[in-house]
Amino acid sequence: MNYASIKAADIADGLGVRVSLFVSGCTHHCKGCFQPETWDFNYGTPYTAETEQQIIDLMKPPYIRGITLLGGEPFEPEHQTDLVHLLRRIRAELPEKDVWCYSGYTFEQLIGKVPSRARCDKTDEMLALLDVLVDGEFILEQKNIRLIFRGSENQRLLNIPESLRRGEAVLLKL
C-alpha cells in the first residue's frame, strides 16, 4: 500500500484534532474529487512498519482525539490488510482514541448486502474497528459546502458500532 500524506493535526476530517492518513488508490474516480492524484495506487510513499509507528506516535498526545482514514479509498481490498493491522494496534495501544473512515463504498456494500469489489476477508474486521464511517461516493451534482464532515448530500455519517449491532445503517448523532 502507498499513502499520499499523513496530517499530524487535522481538524477538518472528524471531531477534534486528529491524525489523518490519506491512502493512495481508488477505483471510484468521483467527478469533482478533491484529491484525484490519490486514485493512482502507486502515488505517494510506500506504507511501512516505520510509517505505522509514526502514526501511533503522532496519536499519543492527549489533544489528539483519534485517527481518520481517507484517500484514495481505504476500503479497496489492496489496503485492508495494512489498515486492519494499524487499527488493531490503535485499539490495543490507544483505546481512548476514536477511528473515523471515509469511503466511497456504502455501508450496505461493505457488509455484503449489496455486491461490491470492497468485500474481502478483512472487511468485516476493519468495519468492526471503526467508530464512524462517512459513506458513499462524492457526487458533484449533490455537493453542499454546508454539510458537516461530508461533501455531497448522499453521503452519511454512520455510527458503526450501532450499525453493526442492528445490521443497518444508523446515523451518527453529533
- Reported as a single tens digit per residue, the pLDDT across 52-91 is 999 999 999 999 999 999 999 999 999 999 999 999 999 9
The answer to whether the pTM exceeds 0.95 is yes
Per-residue pLDDT band at 129 (split at 50, 70, 90): very high
| AA identity, residue 124 | D
Check pLDDT > 90 for residue 123.
yes
% pLDDT > 90, the chain:
98
pLDDT at position 107: 98
End-to-end, the C-alpha distance of the chain in Å comes to: 32
Measured between alpha carbons, how far is 60 from 101 in angstroms, rounded to an integer? Answer: 19
- Judge whether residue 146 has pLDDT over 90: yes
Q: Check whether 34 has a pLDDT greater than 90.
A: no
CA distances from 16 to 12, 31, 57, 98 (A): 9, 29, 17, 10
Residues 19-26 have a mean pLDDT of 98
Cell of 160: 458503526
User: What average pLDDT score do residues 131-141 get?
Assistant: 97
* Mean pLDDT, range 11-16, rounded to an integer: 96
At residue 12, does pLDDT exceed 90?
yes
Full set of structural domains in the chain with CATH = 2-166 (3.20.20.70)
- Greater confidence (55 vs 35) lies with 55
DSSP 112-166: TSS--TT-STTHHHHHHT-SEEEES---GGGB-TTSSS-SBTT-EEEEHHHHHHH
pLDDT, average across residues 130-152: 97
Q: Is the pLDDT of residue 124 over 90?
A: yes
List C-alpha distances in Å: 46 to 41, 61, 71, 76, 157: 10, 25, 14, 16, 29
